[in-house]
Amino acid sequence: MISGLGGEILWIDMSRGKIEKKTIDEELVNKYLLGAGYLSKVLYDMIPAGTDPLGEKNILGIATGTLTGSMFPQASRHVVAALSPLTGIWGESHAAGFFGAELKLAGYDAIMFTGASKEPLYLNIEDSKVELLDASHLWGKDVFETDDIIRKGHNRKFRTLSIGQAGENLVKFAAVMNDRDRASARSGLGAVMGSKKIKAISVHGTGKLEVADPKNYLRQMDVFYERMMANPFTPGRVKYGTTSLVELMQHIGRLPSYNMKQGVFEGYDKISGDAINAKYFVKARADYSCLQRCGRYTAVRSGPYKFIGGAPEFETQSSMGSRCGNDNLESVLFGHHLANQYGMDTISLGGTISWAMEAWDEGLLTAEDTGGIDLSWGNADTIIKLTKMIALREGFGDILAEGSAAAAERIGRGTDKFVMAVKKQEIAGQEPRAQKSMGLAAVTAARGADHLYAFPVLDEAGFDEDIKKRFGEEYLPEMADRLSPKYKGIMVKECEDFMVMVESVGLCKYGTQIPPEFYYDDIALALKVHNGLNLTGVQLQEIGERIVNLNRLFNARFGVSRKDDCLPDRLTKEKAPLGPSAGEVVELDQMLTEYYDVRGWDQETGLPLKETLKRLGLDGL
């Protein structure tokens, strides 16, 4: 029997209001773990071609990892997945917080929602008591209000996961929020929740996790703790979270600016980590079992952007800041807070607004389209105004709520060439001409443009030793060179396998990939002492590879092939105009060919070869 788990999966039929508890399938855990792997398998088996992402046939899963709730550093995470309404392909997103651990303590590892309700409901879980309750009093409330009302109505110990108005209004990049300011932001899964009329989940568990090796548990976890605390990255993480990436990315020309026209921003120092710490920083906040506390709590004390709350991340400094040519830091912080409140992905939000700003700048969008709103680069008031209008689908916000790709299709006039997306999802804060691996990663990621599926940060700067350890000396110096396309196919493939596995055990990419402190063997050891699973590092890598292939098969079902694995022309054909990476383009074809080769995928179709599927135990699919 596998230890350290909740033990059951909840199946909630929203159409009939039926709740079913199923014991965890241990064979499945041995082949896919939990989290991303579990959802990949279950949704592959259950979502057929032609499914409407916002129809009742879509299935929304929320799953914790095998180590979620454990004492491993940063073991806080859960995964949300469904067919994405933004991209029409595999949709997946992850968040930290306390929700996942609380769900485990209540006795559950995952919740699967099928069907759709006509009336708004919320799922309330108190240990073995699980009930669907009327949420008409919560519908229309924002994420913070929802959390307040639920906890006041039950008790303060409840953890909540919810959607804000954006999810209710089926904004295509609506987030699933938890613990107030944690976001499973990408893929528009908040809209799937909204389409099923699930306003929230509240959970309180009074149970316990019995671990496989209680005798040695604390001693082993102490070793992991000590390594994490001693890592030279940890103090910087505490001090800045992700916010100092603005300075670092400016330094290598990788800070998306003006809708990714360039990778440097002249106002970078006004939106930097140091600028935040100088005036707005309140506290470093942690999630469950997190030693690095990268969470920022900030405040703007006066003026139109006044707030106090959890904000920001680097991605927002980039998407609502440099990407929109906006150096007004107070608006960036407030914008992040507002996006949390309404429940939206700040990457796609900023990516869509910056698309509109470039189209405006080029004269392709006018005041007639926008209802008189001025979309000049850096107009902070416009960015804030549009954030609200998108969440509530007011005026021009209603078009932008569809995401940049669909909005460009609707507007026409050649605005599609300013869409900085892959498979209709906006590219995150990595200008790939300054880091080639990120260009490939955005293209191969299962959920459309995404930096986290592979999170290939080892060529960012200074990880030569770790590349040597994880890959071998023969790949140096090219693999460590961010501007070289060589070996990036190999690197992205290996990083994907590892990261997808990390999302299946419920750990954070901080500590596993940056800094690259814990690798396969460490996680194998943790799975042994916590879960009693006897999986080797090699087997864990194979599980990661299996999941990536299954995600690809899922996407093939929705029409994806090599033709879709492409970047906007700007990034592959136009040379980066400015900064330390000036003159660079992304050599995508070269990297992609190497990637398909090491993946065992067909060069023409970009789909898994029969022998690859057989080797991974996926034959017949």
Partner 1 sequence: MTELKFVFGDPDVCSGCMVCVNVCSMYYSKVIGPTRSRVRVVRIEPALDFPLFCRNCEDAPCIAACPEGALSRTSKGIVIVNNRKCNGTGACVAACPYNAIHIHPDTGKAIKCIQCGQCVDRCPADALFITTTAELAERDKEGRMMALHNEHEDELYEKEAM
d(CA 506, CA 69): 8
Which residue among 26, 134, 210, 597 contacts partner 1 (CB under 8 A)? 210
**Binding string to partner 1 for residues 250 to 289, with x set by CB under 8 A, is what?**
--------------------------------xxxxxxxx
Find out whether 123 and 202 touch, Cβ atoms under 8 Å: yes
Distance CA 337, CA 82 (A): 26
615 in contact with partner 1 (CB under 8 A): no
Closest to partner 1 by CB, 333 vs 440, is 333
Q: Which residues of 53-73 are buried (b: 16+ CB within 10 A; e: fewer)?
A: bbebebbbbbbbbbbbbbbbb
**Footprint (CB under 8 A) of partner 1, residues 318-377:** none
Contact string (CB under 8 A) for partner 1, positions 38-57, x = contact: --------------------
- Cβ closer to partner 1: 152 or 410? 152
Backbone angles phi, psi at 415, to 5 degrees: -70, -10
Q: Which is nearer to partner 1, 181 or 431 (CB)?
A: 181
What pairs with residue 309 in β-bridges? 298
Nearer to partner 1 by C-beta: 287 or 460? 287
The binder of partner 1 chosen from 11, 225, 471, 475 (CB under 8 A):
225
Residue 209 engages partner 1 in binding (rule: CB under 8 A): yes
Cβ closer to partner 1: 237 or 451? 237
**Interatomic CA distance for residues 132 and 123, integer angstroms:** 5
When binding is defined by CB under 8 A, the residue of 20, 222, 269, 619 that contacts partner 1 is: 222
Which of 35, 53, 61, 69 touches partner 1 by CB under 8 A?
69
CB of 74 to partner 1, least distance (A): 9
Q: How far apart are CA 508 and CA 38, in angstroms?
A: 17
Candidate residues 11, 44, 217, 471; the one interacting with partner 1 per rule CB under 8 A: 217
Report the run of H or E that residue 176 belongs to, with start and end.
strand 176-178
**CB of residue 214 vs partner 1: minimum separation in angstroms?**
4
DSSP annotation of 320 reads I
Residue range at the interface with partner 1 (CB under 8 A); choices 211-219, 448-456, 559-567, 598-606: 211-219
In this structure, are residues 175 and 345 in contact, taking their beta carbons and an 8 Å threshold?
A: yes
Q: Contact between 614 and partner 1 (CB under 8 A)?
A: no
Within 10 angstroms of residue 30's Cβ, the number of other Cβ atoms is 14
98 in contact with partner 1 (CB under 8 A)? yes
Both tokens of 152, joined, read 């006041």
Q: What does DSSP say about strands 182-184 and 176-178: parallel, antiparallel, or unpaired?
A: antiparallel
Shortest distance, CB of residue 333 to partner 1, whole angstroms?
14
* 180 near partner 1 (CB under 8 A): yes
Considering only residues 118, 129, 208, 563, which one is a binding residue for partner 1 as defined by CB under 8 A? 208
Taking the C-alpha atoms of residue 261 and residue 270, their distance in angstroms, rounded to an integer, is: 20
Kindly tell me which of 445 and 533 has the beta carbon lying closer to partner 1.
533
CB of 580 to partner 1, least distance (A): 35
Backbone angles phi, psi at 547, to 5 degrees: -65, -45
199 vs 136: CA distance, rounded Å: 9
Q: Is 152 in the site for partner 1 (CB under 8 A)?
A: no
CA distance 163 to 139: 9
Report the alpha-carbon distance of residue 616 to residue 599 in Å, rounded.
11
Site for partner 1 in 229-248 (CB under 8 A): 229
User: In angstroms, rounded to a whole number, what is the distance separating the alpha carbons of residues 537 and 497?
Assistant: 12
Please give the backbone phi and psi of residue 63, each rounded to the nearest 5 degrees, phi first.
-130, 140
Q: What is the DSSP string of 343-409?
A: TB-HHHHHHHHHHHHHHHHTTSS-HHHHTS----TT-HHHHHHHHHHHHTT-TTHHHHTT-HHHHHH
Pick the binder of partner 1 from 211, 275, 505, 535 (CB under 8 A): 211
- Reduced to 3 states (helix: H, G, I; strand: E, B; else coil), residue 15 is coil
Residues facing residue 160 across a β-bridge: 202
Q: What is the footprint of partner 1 within residues 415-434 (CB under 8 A)?
A: none
Which of 37, 65, 263, 309 forms a contact with partner 1 (CB under 8 A)?
309
Minimum CB distance to partner 1, residue 522 (Å): 18
Pick the closer one to partner 1 by CB: 225 or 519.
225
Residues between 188 and 207 with contacts to partner 1, criterion CB under 8 A: 204, 206-207
CB of 71 to partner 1, least distance (A): 5
Of 174, 191, 249, 291, the one binding partner 1 by CB under 8 A: 291
CB 308 → partner 1: shortest distance, Å?
5
Residue 218 within binding range of partner 1, rule CB under 8 A: yes
The residue ranges that bind partner 1 (CB under 8 A) are 4, 69-71, 98, 101, 105, 126, 155-157, 180, 204, 206-211, 214-215, 217-218, 221-222, 225, 229, 282-291, 293, 295, 297, 299, 308-309
